[in-house]
Structure 1
Amino acid sequence: MKGLFLALLLVASPALANDPGEEIVAGLSQSSVSITADYAGAEILIYGAVKREAPPPRGPTIQVIVTVEGPEGPVAVRRKDRVWGIWQNNAAVEIDRAPSFYAVVTSGPLAQVLSETDDLRHRITIPRAIRSVGIASEADEAPAFVDALQRIRTGDGKYSLREGGVQLTEQTLFRTDVALPAALTEGDYTVRIFLTREGRVVDTIKRRIWVRKAGLERFLYQSAHDWPLLYGLASLLIAALAGWGASALFARLRP
C-alpha cells in the first residue's frame, strides 16, 4: 500500500512541478463613466499581464477572455402572432435579471479557448449570462424567447462577441478595448478577466466600472424619482410658460 502511494506521488509530481501558478494583474483606463448631455458613448481600455512563479509549461498556450456586464433587470419578451388578421401579442416569457449590456472578447476562437464545463461554471458566454437565472415561465418555447432577446440586443449593440479581440503578447501581456454604447444604463458594470488553458479556467479577476448621470441630467433624474409630484408640476408650469411665450412672440411678429 505504501509503495502504491509513493508511485502515485511520483506520477503527480511532474504535473505539480510544471504548474506555473499563473495569476492575472489587470487594470482599466477608467473606472467611472459620466453620462452628460453630450455623452455619445465611451471606450474602455482593459489591460494587464500574467504573473508567474515559474516559466509557462510546454503545450497549449494561455488564452484570455474578457467580459463586461451591465446592470441586470427583468425583461418581458413577447411574440406577435397574426390573430384574426391582426398582429398582436400572443405569447410572452418573463426573463429575470438579464444583463442590460454584455460584451465578450477573446484572444482566440471561443470554442477553442473555453470548454462547455467551465462556461457553465463561470457563466461566460452570452447565452449562459441570460440563462444563468431562472425563467419565470415554464413554457416549452422559453428557449426561443431567450434566443430572441439575445438576437434583438445584439442588433442594438447591447450584446456582442469579438473573437480574437484580445491582443496577447508573448503569453504575458494582454489588452483590449470595449465600446460602451450611447444608450447606456446607469449602474455598476462588472469587468471579468479569465485565463484559460486547454479550455479550462486557471484564474479570474473582477473589476468595476461606475456609470452615473452627471450635471443637469443627474439633477433631473433625481428630481423625477425623489419628488415626482413637484417634478410633474414644474414640468407642466415650464410647458405652459413656453407655450405662452411662443404665442406672445408670434403675436408680435404677425403683421
Structure 2
Amino acid sequence: MVPENADAPPERVVAGLSSDAVSITASFDGSNILIYGAVAREAPVPDGPPLEVIVTIEGPSQALTVRRKTRQVGIWINTESLEVGAAPSFYVVSTSGPLDQILQPDWDTRYRISVPLAMRSFAGELTVEDTVPFTEALVRLREGNGLYRTDEAGVNVVDQTLFNADIRLPANLIEGDYKTRIFLLREGRIIDVFRAPIEVRKVGIERWLYRLAFDRPLLYGLMSLAVAIAAGWGASSAFRLLRRR
C-alpha cells in the first residue's frame, strides 16, 4: 500500500483496511470493509475550507455491450448498441460531503472518480451519436443490482486529521483483484492519493466448481446434467408418493 505521489505533499494519507482479502463461500452474503486513516503533516492545519476525503473501491473491469430497444411494428427489438471497452464490475464512491461540492470537475476527469467516469473507454467504432444514454442505462442497471453506489457523507472526518469509512460489499461480487483509492482534497483539488488492493477469491466448494467450469467444461456440463436428472427424478418420486396418500 503506497501513496501515488513520489514527492511527499504537505498533507499525506496514512491509511489501512480492516481486511485486504474477502473469501466467497457457499453462504457468503456480503462483507464490510472498514477503512481508517489519518493525515500526516509537519505543519498546523491550513486555514480555509476543511479537508475532504473520498474513498473508492473498484472491481475488475469487463468489456460489455449496452443495447437499446425500440418498439417497431408492435414488437421490441435491438436497434442500437454501444461497446464499452472497460466497465468496473463493482464500483462504490464514499465521500465526506456532496461529491459535486467537494470535487472540481477537472480533477474528477483526471482521476475518474465519479461513477459515470469510471467507464474507461469505448471499444471499436462508435455507432451512436450520443453515448450518454447508454452509459446512464448501464449505471442504472448496476445501481439497481447494488454493484454501483455513491455514499455521500459516508466518510467521517474528525478534526481534519482522522477519518474512517465502513463500506458494504454485496453478495454478488465476482472473483478478482479490487482496487481501493483514498483521496485527500482541499478546495475541490486532490492533494494526495493512497492506493491499496483487496483480493476477492472463491474458497471451498465454490472455488472447486468455479475452476471446474473453466478448466473442464465438458465434465462440469455432465455433472450439471446429472444433478438436474437426479433432482427431477426425486421430485417426481415425491409427487407420486403424495398422490398415493
Same fold (TM over 0.5): yes
| Match in the other structure for 1:86 | 75
**Residue-pair matches, total:** 236
Shift of the alpha carbon at 1:134? 2.9
Which residue type is aligned with residue 133 of structure 1? S
Do residues 230 (structure 1) and 205 (structure 2) align? no
Aligned partners of 2:83 and 2:122 also within 8 Å = no
Matched residue type, 2:167: V
Q: 1:217 aligns with which of 202, 206, 210?
A: 206
Q: Which has the higher helix share?
A: 1
SS of 2:208 mapped into structure 1:
helix
**Deviation per CA, 1:173-212, whole angstroms, max 9, x where unpaired?**
0001111111111111111000011111100011111111
Corresponding position: 1:64 with 2:53: yes
Normalization by structure 2: what TM-score?
A: 0.89
Distance of 1:81 and 1:151 partners within structure 2: 18
Larger radius of gyration: 1
Which residues of 2 match residues 100-111 of structure 1 at below 5 A? 100-111=89-100
CA contact (8 A) 1:20 1:55 kept: no
- Give 3-state SS (helix, strand or coil) of 1:193's partner: strand
Distance between the aligned counterparts of 1:151 and 1:247, measured in 2? 42
Gaps of 5+ in 1: 1-18
Aligned partner of 2:108 in structure 1 is: 119
Matched, 1:152 2:141: yes
How far the C-alpha of 1:104 sits from its partner, in A, is 0.7
- Identity percentage of aligned residues: 53
Q: Structure 1 200/246 Cα, relative in aligned 2: closer, same or farther at 3 Å?
A: closer
Structure 2 segments unaligned to the other structure (5+ residues): 1-7
**Aligned match of 1:134 in 118, 122, 143?**
122
User: CA 1:56/1:20 → structure 2, altered by over 3 Å: closer, same or farther?
Assistant: farther
Q: Residue 192 of structure 2 is aligned with which of 203, 222, 227?
A: 203
Structure 1's 246 and 128: CA in aligned 2 closer, same or farther, altered over 3 A? closer
Give deviations 1:76-100, integer Å, cap 9, x for gaps. 1111111111112121111111011
Which stretch shows the higher mean deviation, 156-165 or 235-244?
235-244
Asked if 1:194 corresponds to 2:149, the answer is: no
Which residue of the partner structure matches residue 28 of structure 1? 17
Q: Deviations over 1:199-230 (max 9, x none)?
A: 11100011111111111111111111111112
2:194 aligned partner, one-letter code: I
Higher RCO by CA contacts (8 Å cutoff, separation 6 or greater) = 2
Q: What is aligned with 1:4? A: none
**What's the TM-score once normalised by structure 1's chain length?**
0.86
